[in-house]
A and B are shown apart, each in its own frame.
Chain A
Amino acid sequence: MATNQPVVTFREYPVNAGGLTLNCREAGNGLPVIFLESLRWGSQDFYDALARSFHLFILELASGEAEGIEPAVREAAEMLAGDAYNLVGSSGGANVALRTVLRLARDPEPAESLVLLSPTAVRPADALSDLSQDQWSSLLLAHPEQFDNTGDLPAGVDLRSILAPRDSDNDLEAMLPQVKSPTLAVFGTRDRLISKEAPSTYRGSIPNCHVSLVYDTAHLPAAERPEAVASAVTDFIENRETFVVNRHSSVINP
């Protein structure tokens, strides 16, 4: 991320909701964005970029609590952002976001836009069940050799619980047509945790869905190419489906 950007300072505090205590980091001003984070690692540049444009609340989903956490997410989001917000999730967090809007559907839906970064709940790649922690880790990045400034994964993180598909999600694909929010589904072009058909499945099943492919990234595109993902996500949250319209001038020299 460009070094001349203003420094973003996050405030960190616990949020009690749905009988759970969730860690929350907050920064920025503007449209409220609830970000569901399943892995606190590698994406700070991306968060900083979002916080420069939005009022960002990052809810940390402890991996062991991700199952059945949707009511707590709904309640926390309303406590933090009121009755209208933009819901973003990455990896396991994207799955939670999807389950939240599908299984706890509201009318009107408070998630004015839904952004799913590398969701694995629908159409995960085959043969993902019996991987070791190292094997899961090797699937996170397309270029781990270029990613040396963030350090190792935090100790104790169980990647399987974050990344592995769940039998309880088997009904989600059939429910995708019920998603009411304008949706952006983001995938790395080298993500081996999802099947090749997954982007088309989201695009073809969710009524107002756009798919963004992030070149040369694996399962954590926001970590590997934060500028590219922030550009798409920011544009989508601000403009929803009209983000397809280019508003940048092509004039070189007036």
Chain B
Amino acid sequence: MKASYLGAMGYSERHLFPEGWPIPPACHDPRLSVQSYQEGMDECEFAEEMGFEWVSFSEHHYSGRIATGNPAVMAAAVAERCKKVKLAMLGPLLPLNNPVRIAEEMGMLDNISDGRLIMGFLRGTPNEDQVYGVNPSEGREMLFEGMDLIRKALTEEQPFSWEGRYYNFRTVSVWPRPVQQPLPPTIMATRSDDTVRYAAENGMGLGVSFIPVELMEPIAEKYFNWCNEAGWQPTPDQVVFRGNIYIAETDQQAQDWLHALPGGQPRPAIQLQRSVAQVIQAARSGEEFDLRRILAGSPQGDVVGRSLGLNFLGSPDTIASKMKEYHDRCGVGVMDLFFQQPGLTHGEVMREIELFGKEALPQIKEF
């Protein structure tokens, strides 16, 4: 098993953000922000030094918790700091973006990193449909079309036009082409049957985030079965799990840290007004919704959100043991880890990276 460091570039005072989403720009201090990006890149560099083989980037908006609204910009900067790790774009949110632009960014990243790019596609969390005005009921179809268009844009030998349902381009001719031919390794970040099947049928890897091993297991089982039906078997690098981690010298120290957090767990990463959250959910599910009924049942301004919890908490041995479960039960070969938990300083994260690198990573590399 390999380890991947999620380059979140979190704003250092993210623990002081008000509840809700989006985070007001007034919370931003440029001096702290500059420092936060530098510290985030230091963490990526140190993770590489400690034996992490991937650094990943994830598109999120309007919040400093994961401050990479354009993950390609961040990956390009880290590519100059880290000369060995794979750069895993896990990834751009396709419904929010022009797929041709994403294809161009992927091509550039694979070239400037000399073939170290791993592509990833995903739809995005419900709140992010609002960022560029995507209709939540159309995000899934836009994801599918966007993936087909990107793959075509990176592989076609001649200029073409695209007559899509959501995208229409009369001239597509992407430069530069990827260094890795015909395409860089590609991960589909998903849990849904239709997208898992798409990944299997198109030779793509599977990325799953933040859920317990018992929930990932049936997803992985379907993925492997559909890959088999499609006539191929994924390599360990093609099954990725992204999880929250807090590692300490002992299990007790880790538990003490957790219990000291408000409510005894990390804050929800995304908090939305209840009505907005329900409307998004209804639209994504294709369900009818009754706004008046929703509002009648909720206090005005009521904010909801669910903590993702910590997938890996404890000593190096405990964490390695938990990761082995994901390996054995789900075939996970790459563990993409989110270290920047709320309230942790840069120094604390660096100590965690070191502890993980020295005590846990040698164990999981044996899987």
Contacts and interface: CB of A to CB of B under 8 A. Distances in A.
Given A189-B152, A244-B170, A244-B171, A212 B163 contact: yes
B217 interface: no
Contacts of A210: 159-161, 170
B158 interface: yes
A204 B145 CA distance: 25
Given A216-B145, A244-B170, A203 B158 contact: yes
Interface residues of A, number: 22
Given A244-B170, A244-B171, A215 B159 contact: no
Contacts of B152: 189, 213
A243 B157 contact: no
15 contacts: A197-B157, A199-B156, A200-B157, A210-B159, A210-B170, A211-B161, A213-B162, A213-B163, A215-B148, A215-B149, A215-B162, A215-B164, A225-B163, A228-B163, A245-B170
3 closest A-B pairs by beta carbon, nearest first, are A203-B158, A200-B157, A215-B164
A73 interface: no
Given A189-B148, A244-B171, A200 B163 contact: no
Q: Which among B156, B168, B170 has the highest number of chain A CB atoms within 10 Å? A: B170
Given A215-B148, A216-B145, A244-B170, A204 B163 contact: no
Nearest to B171: A244
Interface of A: 189, 197, 199-200, 203-204, 210-216, 225, 228-229, 231-232, 243-246
Nearest to A242: B170
Contacts of B156: 199-200
Contacts of B157: 197, 200, 204
A244 B161 contact: yes
Q: Which among B145, B149, B163 has the highest number of chain A CB atoms within 10 Å? A: B163
Given A244-B170, A244-B171, A246-B170, A215 B160 contact: no
Interface in B158-197: 158-165, 167-168, 170-171
